[in-house]
A and B are shown apart, each in its own frame.
Chain A
């Protein structure tokens, strides 16, 4: 099983700041089958990024993904108030596993 470790656990930032979230895999993720999801309190997760760097339909361009192999990053260039949420990475190249999440909170 591929284990995904996200860091940091919590990111305290102000609106307008840049957020950088990390996801490290215990083994290489094949063909960059890596996705990022956003989950707001009481809501279902929403797909943001797939294939490590492709934005899902309707996702603003302030969200970007990068990385390959075992190290992946989600960047939010300028945080909007609606971006404060929990973010999960997921690999779907070998069954399906999720990271434990990074909470982006208002500083």
Chain B
């Protein structure tokens, strides 16, 4: 098992640009989660997929954010028209059972 992987690990972008992050869950994990972690804070839930269905979205996920999980495998998180407040670590997690989430290394986004 190779674990949850995320790409890229670091992204620096200028305000107003669009960015897309990818998450590859552990194989056969049908649940996939996105969290955002800002400096000095714990992760905050963004959205959750079971297979390809997006089942829950946080109110933190403004209309500039969109997430997909085509075919229930990898997932992408896109941020349009980035703002400085979007600077954070974006974490992906996957699980097979309801109560054990495995986290990836995260993508650190810096918006200049």
A and B part of one assembly: no
A residues at B contact (CB < 8 Å): none
